């Protein structure tokens, strides 16, 4: 006799909802029966267009063809983020996804480079990173010979949800259109049992995934799981988004430009550019934010301004009873390092590993919640780093960030780097040494000392090694085509692959 399938109800059809449905049907479809509910009346948040390299790995795990996905979502490649005006007005640095120099186990590459600089070498750490140099030169290929580049994507969020929807429905996900009007719970266990839509349709389930966005309809409004507010560290609570026409070939990087109060993103797609300003209502009015954003657009507006409100923080438990919140329903960190879709993908991998196939799932839920908390806190601290390292004194906004108390693990990390140059990957292995070094040094936090291993070689030998490495980066750079040419060959928008 066939085993009964576990009935999964996905509430919400934004990026989180459709990524959930697609992943579950692709990897566990034989043992799950999946229904997704979404409401065209409510719509999706509709932003979320810059990603980080983990997205490529996730797509590979889920069997997504890169060329097909990119053509369907108007996507471009992303090698990092350029941060303008963060330390001081007029400054600029790139946090690239590439490795800087060569790995060594005892001391890090930047420490060898610092030794050479202390002995008269005049160059930049940037010269030792292919991805960073390629970004600046507007060049790209997925690999050179056997050497893959480390990259991510810029994508059209609405097209991405539609792409995932087509694939999910073709693979057997049932979609229900309608507004969730009521939620039923089993009085004994407290587990969710049924959703009723405004169309009168009822959907019963064993496991409910809350992808209803900021409101967290199931996890928050219905099950009453609280929200840990982090706005004392990350004050932004508003954004305005506007799409514009492209004025140039797409760059292979996102730009995050700091303003007097808030910052602005620029995300180039194949046929248009996504822009937006992130700000705090404590320091900037909506009118002034819109004026700042409009002043700094470089193409004609294609859409009316879209206003978004949010609260930075995390759901106290992302998994409670038989309900797991994924996406904005589980918490939100502003998009400075493009980490929200990443958090959806890691939530899904975690969920698939710990999936509640039986009712005895309290320990699985506890483990899931511990891992989720650690991950959110790690990313939160990395984002705080960008703000706290500012030297700007031109507004109350920057004064607040420059002088505020920061979480202790971050304060420790910054202090040890400033004194000794020591840096290590974070606890969830998301931001590697290279990421921390690029942002800390990019914003002017230069170590007072560096590791003595950098003096093991005679200085001329060290300089020769550095020079050979730099040459290898330049040779590789010379082989890369222009980013736009690579896209035109590999994944032009709208083309069936």
* Contact range with ligand FAD by CB under 6 A, out of 69-77, 316-324, 334-342, 409-417: 334-342
Q: What pairs with residue 32 in β-bridges?
A: 6
Q: x-or-dash pattern for ligand FAD, window 175-204, by CB under 6 A?
A: ----xx------------------------
For position 443 contacting ligand FAD by CB under 6 A, the verdict is no
- CA 176, CA 158: separation in Å to the nearest integer? 18
- CA 246, CA 240: separation in Å to the nearest integer? 19
- CA 292, CA 314: separation in Å to the nearest integer? 29
> How is residue 183 written in tokens?
């939620």
CB of 408 to ligand FAD, least distance (A): 27
In which order are the strands placed within the sheet that holds 32-38?
174-177, 32-38, 6-11, 207-210, 323-325, 319-320
195 labelled ligand-binding: no
For position 218 contacting ligand FAD by CB under 6 A, the verdict is no
> How is residue 428 written in tokens?
């969830």
- Give yes or no: 78 in active site: yes
For position 51 contacting ligand FAD by CB under 6 A, the verdict is yes
For position 114 contacting ligand FAD by CB under 6 A, the verdict is no
- CA 372, CA 228: separation in Å to the nearest integer? 13
Nearer to ligand FAD, 98 or 213 (CB): 213
Q: Which of 4, 5, 78, 167 is catalytic?
A: 78
Name every residue whose Cβ is closer than 8 Å to that of residue 45 and which is 6 or more positions away in sequence: 14, 157, 213, 214, 308, 328
56: phi then psi, degrees, rounded to nearest 5: -65, -45
CA torsion angle 155 161 165 168 (round to 10):
70
For position 48 contacting ligand FAD by CB under 6 A, the verdict is yes
16 labelled ligand-binding: yes
- CA 495, CA 55: separation in Å to the nearest integer? 22
| Contact status, residue 298 vs residue 264, Cβ threshold 8 Å | no
E-only strand ranges, 147-200:
147-148, 152-154, 174-177, 180-185, 192-197
In the list 6, 8, 13, 440, the residue contacting ligand FAD (rule: CB under 6 A) is: 13
328 labelled ligand-binding: yes
13 labelled ligand-binding: yes
CB of 32 to ligand FAD, least distance (A): 20
Nearer to ligand FAD, 49 or 115 (CB): 49
For position 73 contacting ligand FAD by CB under 6 A, the verdict is no
| Contact status, residue 78 vs residue 50, Cβ threshold 8 Å | yes
For position 262 contacting ligand FAD by CB under 6 A, the verdict is no
> How is residue 422 written in tokens?
């020591």
349 labelled ligand-binding: no
In the list 34, 155, 211, 410, the residue contacting ligand FAD (rule: CB under 6 A) is: 211
436: phi then psi, degrees, rounded to nearest 5: -60, -45
For position 220 contacting ligand FAD by CB under 6 A, the verdict is no
421 labelled ligand-binding: no
CB of 452 to ligand FAD, least distance (A): 41
- CA 27, CA 62: separation in Å to the nearest integer? 7
For position 286 contacting ligand FAD by CB under 6 A, the verdict is no
Q: Is 418 exposed, middle or buried (0-12, 13-18, 19+ CB in 10 A)?
A: middle
In the list 62, 225, 328, 385, the residue contacting ligand FAD (rule: CB under 6 A) is: 328
- Interface of this chain with ligand FAD, residues 133 to 172, rule: CB under 6 A: 157
In the list 86, 153, 163, 310, the residue contacting ligand FAD (rule: CB under 6 A) is: 310
CB of 4 to ligand FAD, least distance (A): 26
* Contact range with ligand FAD by CB under 6 A, out of 21-29, 38-46, 116-124, 218-226: 38-46
| Contact status, residue 332 vs residue 311, Cβ threshold 8 Å | yes
- Interface of this chain with ligand FAD, residues 340 to 379, rule: CB under 6 A: 340-341
346: helix, coil or strand? helix
CB of 389 to ligand FAD, least distance (A): 21
- CA 134, CA 149: separation in Å to the nearest integer? 10
In which order are the strands placed within the sheet that holds 306-309?
92-96, 80-84, 254-259, 262-268, 272-279, 238-245, 306-309
15 labelled ligand-binding: yes
CB of 206 to ligand FAD, least distance (A): 19
Q: Looking at the annotation, which residues are catalytic?
A: 78
Q: Can you say which residues are annotated as belonging to the binding site for 7-chloro-L-tryptophan?
A: 78
Q: Which residues are annotated as a binding site?
A: 13-16, 78, 328, 337, 341
Binding site for ligand FAD (CB under 6 A): 12-17, 37-39, 42-45, 47-51, 157, 179-180, 211-213, 217, 239, 276, 308, 310, 327-329, 335, 338, 340-341
Binding site members for FAD: 13-16, 328, 337, 341
């Amino acid at each position: 006799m066939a085993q009964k399938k576990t009935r999964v109800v996905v509430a919400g059809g934004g990026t989180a909802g459709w990524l959930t449905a697609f992943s579950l049907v692709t990897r566990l479809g034989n043992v799950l029966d999946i229904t997704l509910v979404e409401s065209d009346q409510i719509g999706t948040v509709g932003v979320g267009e810059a990603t980080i390299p983990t997205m490529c790995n996730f797509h590979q795990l889920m069997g997504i063809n890169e060329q097909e996905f990119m053509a369907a979502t108007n996507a471009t490649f992303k090698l990092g983020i350029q941060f303008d005006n963060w330390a001081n007005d007029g400054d600029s640095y790139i946090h690239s996804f590439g490795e800087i120099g060569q790995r060594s186990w005892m001391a890090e590459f930047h420490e060898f480079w610092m030794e050479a600089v202390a002995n008269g070498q005049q160059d930049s750490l940037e010269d030792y990173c292919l991805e960073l140099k390629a970004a600046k030169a507007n060049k790209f290929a997925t690999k050179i010979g056997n050497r893959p580049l480390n990259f991510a994507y810029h994508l059209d969020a609405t097209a991405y949800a539609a792409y995932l929807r087509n694939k999910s429905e073709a693979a057997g996900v049932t979609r229900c259109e309608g507004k969730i009007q009521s939620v039923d719970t089993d009085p004994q266990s407290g587990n969710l049992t049924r959703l009723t839509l405004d169309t009168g349709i009822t959907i019963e389930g064993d496991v409910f995934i809350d992808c209803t966005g900021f409101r967290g309809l199931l996890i928050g409004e219905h099950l009453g799981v609280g929200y840990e507010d982090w706005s004392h560290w990350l004050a932004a609570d508003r954004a305005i988004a506007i799409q514009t026409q492209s004025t140039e070939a797409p760059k292979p990087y996102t730009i995050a430009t700091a303003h007097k109060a808030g910052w602005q993103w620029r995300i180039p797609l194949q046929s248009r550019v996504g822009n937006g300003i992130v700000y705090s209502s404590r320091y900037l009015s909506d009118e002034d934010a819109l004026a700042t954003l409009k002043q700094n657009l470089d193409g004609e507006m294609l859409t009316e301004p879209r206003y978004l409100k949010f609260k930075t923080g995390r759901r106290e438990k992302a998994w409670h009873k038989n309900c797991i919140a994924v996406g904005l329903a589980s918490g939100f960190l502003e998009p400075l390092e493009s980490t929200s879709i990443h958090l959806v993908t890691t939530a899904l991998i975690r969920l698939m590993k710990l999936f509640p196939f039986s009712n005895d799932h309290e320990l699985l839920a506890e483990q899931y919640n511990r891992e989720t908390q650690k991950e959110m806190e790690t990313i939160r601290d990395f984002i705080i780093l960008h703000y706290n390292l500012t030297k700007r004194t031109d507004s109350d906004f920057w004064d607040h960030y420059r002088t505020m108390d920061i979480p202790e693990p971050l304060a420790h990390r910054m202090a040890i780097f400033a004194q000794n140059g020591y840096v290590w990957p974070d606890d969830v292995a998301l931001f590697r040494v290279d990421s921390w070094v690029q942002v800390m040094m990019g914003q002017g936090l230069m170590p007072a000392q560096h590791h003595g291993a950098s003096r093991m070689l005679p200085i001329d030998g060290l300089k020769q090694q550095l020079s050979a490495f730099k040459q290898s980066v330049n040779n590789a750079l010379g082989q890369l085509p222009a980013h736009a040419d690579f896209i035109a060959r590999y994944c032009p928008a709208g083309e069936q692959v």
